[in-house]
Structure 1
Amino acid sequence: MAKPPLSMKPTGWFQVAWSDEIAVGDVHVMKYFDQEMVAWRAESGQLTVMNAYCEHLGAHLGYGGTVIGEVLQCPFHGWQWSHQGRNVCIPYEDRPNRGRRITTYPVVERNESVYIWHDIAGRAPYFEAPDVFADFGDGSAATDYYPQQRLFRQALEMHPQYVLENGVDFAHFKYVHKTPIVPVFTRHDFAAPVSFVDFTITFEGDDGQRIEDVNSGVEAINGGLGIAVTKSWGMIDNRTISAITPVDEFTSDVRFMVYIGRPQGDSATRDPERAAAKAAEFGDEVIRQFSQDIHIWAHQRYSDPPALANSEYQGFTAIRNWAKQFYPDGRGGSAAELAGRT
């Protein structure tokens, strides 16, 4: 795949792990944004994500590094680093090295996920990572749903913006997901870093029905380019989270999560095992449909400018203009590419 003409180092919240992958005392190795990183959990439960190399002589803290209480100890010479990336102990010296610091990342744990804030300019977070329950304002919680079902695909040649653009692409539903009719969008709100897209859709019936008679749909919240959460209504109750995180200049990791609502009523009470099995089957189907999109994205070439149909122009123009704010040059390219244009 040709490298997309979009920076692979956008600003925003991005998922780098699931919370249950990093127990107390664990040191988790990963690479994102072309940077080797480690995530480690202190005795108190606090999670830290930082660059991976010790500032002393460059040992990788993920290979033999040890969590001791509230610090991470380097395997090479025992230097200890705090959750702020500061050296707090050199075991064979009277004082630490206060002049060096390992880069750390703002981190939040939400919906069983670990999100870091990435910004090459070093700015503090200026919007919140979305919550698949709280942000829809309907009083729902994880306890109302069966356990999270997951998909994880690594190092795919795709860009996070492909996934976000899918959210305004009404025409693909009929051809990729075989919906009987083309959905209709009822909300495009791209006024802030967190955007909102709602649409009416059905996966049942035939192409003879009218969209006006459809009583089901999806509400989506996009927290920058890295995280999108959805709520379905008028159909089987489900919530989804899609999280696309750049690994390097060519590839991204894809995580997708789905929650299926616990049914209410006598049938669920009488046969809870059957109800849970049916929920798992539906969750698998939601994941299968997302996998259909992944198959397209992983072989897609970014078209700029795209040859849009008249009915597509408004949605795609809005989301592409919105996306520009998350790039280093404010236009979608990298700083180096911008220099080459001038």
Structure 2
Amino acid sequence: MTATDDTLTTDARTPPVAVWQILEKLRGQDLVDWRLAEVTGRASVEERNLDTGIPFGWYPIDLSANLAVGEVKPLRYFAKDLAMWRGEDGEVRIVDAYCKHLGAHMGHGGKVNGNLLECPFHAWRYDGSEGVVKDIPYARAIPPQVKRKCIRTWHVVEVNRWIWAWYHPQDIDPLWEVAVLPEATDPDWTEYEIHEWNVWGSIQNMAENGVDFAHFKYIHGTANVPDGELRWGEWGRGADVKAKMGTPMGEVDGLISYDTMGPGQSWTRFTGISETLLVACLTPVDQDHVHARFCFTQPKAQAEGPMGRLAKGLIRDICKQFDQDKVVWDRQKFEPNPIICDGDGPIPQFRKFYSRFYAQD
């Protein structure tokens, strides 16, 4: 299960039967290292049928708090090298990384000049909105080729304490907005507790996991298979699932409600053990590499009160389930013509829905 758009079931603390031998000895820093390490020896993108492109949508790039005014960062997302900076006006801008002059990567050593990005090689200064060179301090004239738009600029917004970028292979304008989650900025809720993974597979395989009901028993070791009411919209989908969740004090009734907006924004609300919001941040680096970050927030009254231990335990269980799925995702092939049996869940319906996020030539 992905806690992005999937569900908990009877008792997430039950050892799984399929992947336990890989995970059972990983603790502490060893587990953190495993979550981020590259998986070597995996089959190629073509062999795994992952060469279908990256689905378009809004994707989380970095926490807003991680980019200060006047700071420049290099990025690698969407199979592209990018440069991101925050101008003196506080606005975040992202452009393709390579300078049109002699090809320097402007995310490495570049600096902010007012609201412009200055290349570290010869100080050519780029505007992040128009995609043009505004100044070359040592030249009497700016070449006409770069006085008009010469570099790709990216649509950027800051929502839910994150910086988001709109990706579309044809660079069209955004088709929907990032959904605002009130809990993310509520002072009565905790700061984000963040957990991080590199998944060496496709974002579509990860999302499909949410409607693959049968895997819960065999990967997560649950006693039964969850069921829920699915919702399908134009650009978003979701589900409400009632579940029996195991705790040290026995089973409790819980509700898991997940929603997505496009392929890049997903959030899940948990009630029962402890009210919890999971903001799942999944961003493709390349066609076979997804950078995953889970941001958890809970009401301070619960997280810091007598039920705080259970609140922490819920977060651990959700992360453990993601670990279990990662074992499969890291080497999973996309099967374009799967053989489906009863009990598998609405995989064909999911694929029909998800196909809208791939640009047509």
Same fold per superposition (TM over 0.5): yes
Matched residue of 1:162: which SS? helix
Which secondary structure state, in structure 2, belongs to the residue aligned with residue 43 of structure 1? Answer: coil
Matching residue of 1:217: 255
Task: Name the SS of the counterpart of 2:257 in structure 1.
Answer: strand
| Number of residues of Structure 1 aligned to a counterpart in Structure 2 | 310
Deviation at 1:95, TM superposition (A): 4.9
1:290 maps to 2:331: no
Residues 115 and 4 from structure 1, CA distance in 2 versus in 1: closer, same or farther, beyond 3 angstroms?
farther
Three-state SS of the structure 1 residue aligned to 2:59 is: strand
- Relative contact order, higher structure (CA 8 A, sep 6+): 2
Alpha-carbon separation, structure 2, partners of 1:195 and 1:318: 12
Change (3 A) 1:256 1:39: same
Letter in 2 for 1:190: W
* TM-score, normalised relative to structure 1: 0.81
Query: Is 1:319 matched with 2:350?
Result: yes
Q: 2:165 aligns with which of 111, 116, 122?
A: 116
**Is 1:150 matched with 2:194?**
yes
Q: Is the 8 A contact 1:33 1:248 kept in 2?
A: yes
Deviation per CA, 1:76-118, whole angstroms, max 9, x where unpaired? Answer: 2111112212211121335544124221111122223222111
Correspondent of 2:132 among 64, 79, 86: 86
Q: Which residue of the partner structure matches residue 174 of structure 2?
A: 125
Identical residues among aligned pairs (%): 28
Q: Is the 8 A contact 2:269 2:276 kept in 1?
A: yes
Which residue in 2 is equivalent to 1:242? 280
Q: For the structure 1 residues 117 and 151, does the alpha-carbon distance in structure 2 shift closer, same or farther, using more than 3 Å as the test?
A: same
Give distance in 1, aligned partners of 2:238 and 2:288: 28
2:238 to 187, 196, 203: 196
Cα distance, 1:172–1:262 mapped onto 2, change above 3 Å: farther
Partner of 1:254: 292
Counterpart residue type for residue 78 of structure 2: F
CA distance, structure 2, for counterparts of residue 176 and residue 202 of structure 1? 18
Alignment map for 1:224-235 (pairs within 5 Å): 224-235=262-273
Structure 2 contact 274–310 (Cα < 8 Å) conserved: no
The code of the aligned residue for 1:12 comes to G
Whole-angstrom CA distance in 1 between matches of 2:243 and 2:313? 21
Q: Which letter maps to 2:255?
A: G
CA–CA distance in 1 between the matches of 2:309 and 2:141?
59
Distance (whole Å) between structure 2 residues aligned to residue 26 and residue 246 of structure 1: 23
Distance 1:142 1:281, change over 3 A: farther
Task: Kindly state the Cα deviation for residue 276 of structure 1 after the two structures are TM-superposed.
Answer: 5.7
Q: Is the 8 A contact 2:71 2:85 kept in 1?
A: yes
> After the TM superposition, which parts of structure 1 deviate over 6 Å for at least 4 consecutive aligned residues?
none
Deviations 1:13-52 (A, max 9, x none): 1222222222112111111122110111112211111110
Change (3 A) 1:60 1:261: same
CA–CA separation in structure 1 for the residues paired with 2:88 and 2:315: 35
